[in-house]
Amino acid sequence: MRHSRILGTGSHLPDKVLTNRDLESIVDTTDEWIVSRTGIRERHIAADGETTSELALHAARHALAAAGLKPGDIDLIVLATSTPDMVFPSSACLLQKKLGIRHGAAFDVQAVCSGFVYALATADQFIRGGMSRRALVVGAEVFSRILDWKDRGTCVLFGDGAGAVVLGESGTPGILSSHLHSDGAYADILSTPGHVGGGKVLGDPTLKMDGGAVFKLAVRVLEEAAREALDANGLTVADLDWFIAHQANVRIISHTAKKLGVPPEKCVVTVDRHANTSAASIPLALDVAVRDGRIRPGHLVLMEGVGGGFTWGSVLARW
Ligand code: UT7
């Protein structure tokens, strides 16, 4: 039976760092408020002209090097983003061009902060179904460009970055299962409603959020999705080595972990260093935990995304 396995990870953050203290001179906020409500200490901001596909390129190169592969070995690129370089072509195709790959398929997935889990589940299906052998799965965002920098309720929460994995065919299961969900009835609690039409940007192109509603829903669905993934594999919370939830807010991660009974030392948390990077957040956290030696062969890793749509889901992997 065909399976897929993560062969290498990579990530990239833009050079410019914006600290909570820096934000104090932009909006009416404090470092103390941001840290106590979110756990975020700083975020990275892409330079002018630094696009999603550019950030993705750096993360992809690191993941390819970690896997010991060359761009030409890749026959599928699935790139998760809500901040693409342009309306079209997809950022995946622009990344493909930057990597010099001229074969296989490349497309974007748009599931906001669940994007990486959606992209990983998609690539796993392509590999298990025999359509692809080695996929580059990327989450990359420049959320700084869709923020209202006068709205303290949202602009302090997000940042830019990219993370990537190489997923390859394998005789033994790396990806054990994936479960994806969405409910469009919650579209209004987290959205960027603007769009392009008639040669203009129509509507408001900045992010709008009902933070309290998002918080409650996120904790509920993350708990449900974790139980669903473990039940489907006949595993329990005690079997988990690492819990990597979407890095939006340390309180969402700790509330969920507490409800599940996952001890804090098994939660990978990187949101303090890069804030909420939407689709990039899970592969950013994953790459840190792989490179610092926490995630080791044989470990059971649960990745969970949640975000606008509303979308959520899990990927459970054996390292
Ligand atoms: O990928 C998913 C993306 N979204 C999220 O992860 C967001 C989920 N939600 C959250 O993380 C939290 O709801 C927030 C961090 C956004 C807000 O935390 P909260 O504890 O729910 O605060 P709140 O919205 O109830 O606001 C409390 C107070 C309000 O003032 P008043 O009305 O009590 O006077 C806000 O105006 O905090 C105020 N406030 C701020 N104060 C200082 C809101 N933003 C700020 C700020 N600095 N940046």
Q: How do residues 64-111 score in pLDDT, each as one tens digit? A: 999 999 999 999 999 999 999 999 999 999 999 999 999 999 999 999
Query: How far does the centroid of ligand 1 lie from the alpha carbon of residue 211, in Å?
Result: 6
Which residue's CA lies nearest to atom 16 of ligand 1?
211
Query: How far does the centroid of ligand 1 lie from the alpha carbon of residue 202, in Å?
Result: 27
* Mean per-residue pLDDT of the chain: 98
Which residue's CA lies nearest to atom 47 of ligand 1?
29
Query: How far does the centroid of ligand 1 lie from the alpha carbon of residue 157, in Å?
Result: 9
Chain CA centroid to CA 222, Å? 14
Residue-level pLDDT at 89 = 98
Query: How far does the centroid of ligand 1 lie from the alpha carbon of residue 8, in Å?
Result: 36
Domains 3-171 and 176-318 share a fold: yes
d(CA 312, CA 220): 11
Residue ranges covered by each domain of the chain: 3-171, 176-318
Residue-level pLDDT at 254 = 98
Is 276 marked active-site?
A: yes
Which overall architecture, per CATH, does domain 176-318 show?
A: 3-Layer(aba) Sandwich (3.40)
Q: Which of 12, 44, 58, 113 is catalytic?
A: 113
User: Which atom in ligand 1 lies closest to the alpha carbon of residue 155?
Assistant: 48
What pTM, to 2 d.p., does this model score?
Answer: 0.97
Class of domain 3-171: alpha beta
Residue-level pLDDT at 1 = 85
Task: Tell which residue, 263, 236, 18, 57, has the closest CA to residue 144.
Answer: 18
Low-confidence ranges of the chain (pLDDT < 50): none
Cis before 158? omega within 30 = no
d(CA 148, CA 62): 32
Q: Which of 62, 179, 249, 276 is catalytic?
A: 276
d(CA 93, CA 77): 8
